[in-house]
Amino acid sequence: MSEATRANSPVANAGQQPAPSKDLRGLMPYLRRYTRSIIIGLLMVFLMGVVTNVLPLATGIMTDTLAGSPAPFEHSVEKGKGPALAAVPRLSRLSRAIPFYAPNSRQTLGIYCLIVIFCVAIKGVLSFSGRWILIGVSRDIEYDIRSDLLKRLLALEPEFYVRNRTGELMSRATNDLNSVRMVLGPGIMYSATTIVTMIMAIMVMVTLSSSLTLWVLLPAPVVAIAVWFFGKTIHELYETIQAALATLTARVQENLSGVRIVRAYAQEEAEMRAFDEPNREYVSRNIRLIRTWSMFMPSLQALVGTSFLIVLWQGGHQLLRGQITLGALIAFFFYLNQLVWPMIALGWVTNIFQRGAASMGRLNFILTAKPNIDDRAATLPKDSTPVGEIEFRNLTFAYPTTFSGSNGSGKSNGSGPHPVLSDINLKIPAGSTVAVVGPTGCGKTTLAALVARLWEAPEGTVLIDGHPIQHWPLETLRRSIGYVPQDTYLFSETVGGNIAFGLPDYDPERCREAAQIASLHGDIADFPKGYETAVGERGITLSGGQKQRTAIARAVVRDPRILILDDALSSVDTQTEEKILSGLRGVMRGRTTILISHRTSTVQNADQIVVLREGRIIERGTHEELLERGGYYADLYQKQLLEEELEKA
């Protein structure tokens, strides 16, 4: 993981990690959306707990019926033997509350057998309903969080993606989200089941025998300490595991994206060796978690076994002394057996919550990330349309990722010790074409990106129609711009789908016209399925020139007020370039165009040519004016003219 990534990750600084409960607070807005469903689901769980606790009671009553006790849970006392249990008021109230009881009665046995069958059936219905509702809510919230994650990721500026690798973000949006869903579904459901079952069972057990209940609850403090200790350890281990998985995912993603380069340089073995270290680290951290988990569950089971031994020991003594009935002891065993799952589930739920808290903390890093480029300063209405006048006024810009990048508030302001652009003053009239040329790294692409507001320029240094660019709503600004970036990116879609990417709906006629302008229609006609031909991931089935022309068509089809072509013809030959420029001249007429290129043949018909060098404007004028001046542009023109003549020769 890179240093920049570590600095922004919630896993980076263990000493500054928030408590698990604070991490899970981020779920509250999502839970509020489904309050009604959650209440109904929890009500089902509560009713299931009530029905579940009737079953041991009915079993105890049937046992006392067979034993011939005069009243359920009251011992039949012979003369001179044992204390009379009628003196215990709680048992008397419980006995009087039990209907249809008669010792050695077939009718009583039949009634309570039917009650058991009925309770089992109702328990099944309630269990299904509770699971259906609560697990369904967890899936709905998973959908909401995933949508919010994508919405936030699309809103964040390039700086965020420079500091955080794509593979790590993908890991958070998949693996971490699944862990959070487990909290929302099984975590909440089993927590509620555990709490209801334990509370109601203990209440009945205290009524049957308070002294025996106290003996059974002796291991409870040890259980609480074990849950706290192991829960804390599991939380810390799971955070490191998710961080290791994110690193692993990032490496796989990079290798798959660059698989052709890996093969071209015969680096398969080297990449496998480089993958081996994070892979082993991920496995070793999981083994440490498994070791902790394998100690946790046996510890809980040992405590449960101790409780059974206590019931058998103390309950047997009380039965022999006539303090409880056989039915009460049997009911006690059933209640204790009923508590086994909640006690084990306590450990499992703890594990789920600790994992979910660690994952939610990692998701909160994305969900709470504040985009530096937004509409906070927007003052113009959203329905306004730019005319297209662009002005750079005393613009000095440095990428915030190359230095501390913060002015104290966490917002990058585009200034810094190593500016990419320095003191740029340039006015582009609406409807005119300005070409920008210069050596590699002089700031041409940066200038274009600032117009599209992909990076944030200092306030008042970039203006559209006389208004600072920050005053324009982002959606309004970007819908008015057709941008062809230097690094062409196509989606795993059809050719037509890629061209129509910026349109609200697919329009075959408009796509065909845009393809003709970009000199792509002839190529598409030769494709097996025409405009319905899939281009593969990142347009892998197309040549470099075809990808660039597809990107040009994608920009043209939107009919933008401002057209930015960032070295968009670098992958085509001079003849194709002339055809494309010929088609674009009609499109460029009447709209503001910024044409960036390293070829003088591309820019010579521009209304104004600007030469950048080391981030500064060193020349400006028309093609003829710059040739007469005999500066950098004239030298570049002569060199390229000589290269063309040598190629023809």
What length does the chain have? Answer: 649
Identify whether the C-beta of residue 392 lies closer than 8 Å to the C-beta of residue 460: no
Instruction: Give pLDDT tens digits for 77-103.
Output: 443 344 444 434 445 566 667 888 888
Alpha carbon separation from 544 to 122, 171, 516, 530, 589 (Å, rounded)? 66, 31, 18, 18, 27
Answer whether residue 628 shows pLDDT above 80.
yes
CB 122 within 8 A of CB 361: no
pLDDT single digits (tens) 222-258 = 776 777 777 778 777 877 887 788 788 878 877 877 7
For the record, the structure tokens of 408 come out as 């104290």
Task: Summarize the confidence of residues 194-206 as an average pLDDT.
Answer: 84
Amino acid letter, residue 226: A
Q: Is 91 exposed, middle or buried (0-12, 13-18, 19+ CB in 10 A)?
A: buried
Helix axes 188-208, 89-97, angle to 10 degrees: 110
Q: What secondary structure letter does DSSP report for 184?
A: I
Q: Tell how strand 390-397 and strand 467-468 pair up.
A: unpaired
Q: Which residues of 294-312 are buried (b: 16+ CB within 10 A; e: fewer)?
A: eebeebbeebbeebeebbe
| Residue 3 region by backbone torsions, left for phi larger than 0, else alpha for psi between -120 and 50, else beta | alpha
Q: How confident is the model over 371-427, as pLDDT tens digits?
A: 888 888 888 888 888 888 999 999 999 888 654 444 333 444 444 567 899 999 999
Phi, psi (rounded to 5 degrees) for 428: -115, 105
Q: What is the pLDDT of residue 18?
A: 52
Mean pLDDT (whole number) for 4-13: 39
Give the ranges where 209-324 is alpha helix by DSSP (H). 210-216, 220-257, 259-264, 268-310, 316-320
- Each residue's pLDDT tens digit, 153-173: 888 888 888 888 877 888 888
DSSP output for 71-86: BTTB--PPTTSS--GG
Give the per-residue pLDDT at 347.
67
pLDDT digits (tens, 9 = 90+) for 111-135: 989 999 999 999 999 999 998 999 9
At 300, list the tokens. 């809980």
Backbone φ and ψ of 407, nearest 5°: -100, 20
**pLDDT at 542 > cutoff 80:** yes
> Residue 10, by phi and psi: left (phi above 0), alpha (psi -120 to 50) or beta?
alpha
pLDDT for the residue 434: 93
Q: Under CATH, domain 390-480+560-648 is a member of which superfamily? A: P-loop containing nucleotide triphosphate hydrolases (3.40.50.300)
Give the C-alpha separation, 20 to 560, whole Å. Answer: 49
Instruction: Kindly write down the DSSP assignment for every residue of 302-355, as one continuous string.
Output: HHHHHHHHHIIIIIHHHHHTTSS-HHHHHHHHHHHHHHHHHHHHHHHHHHHHHH
* DSSP E strand boundaries for 475-629: 481-484, 562-566, 592-596, 608-613, 616-621
Backbone angles phi, psi at 392, to 5 degrees: -105, 120
Domain 28-367 has CATH 3.90.226.10: no
Q: What residue ranges do the domains of the chain occupy? A: 28-367, 390-480+560-648, 491-550
According to the model, what pLDDT value does residue 405 have? Answer: 41
Give the span between the Cα atoms of 5 and 287, in whole angstroms.
Answer: 25
Could you identify the residue written with the tokens 């001046």? 629
**Which DSSP category does 462 fall into?**
E
- pLDDT of 510 above 60: yes
Does residue 19 have a pLDDT over 60? no
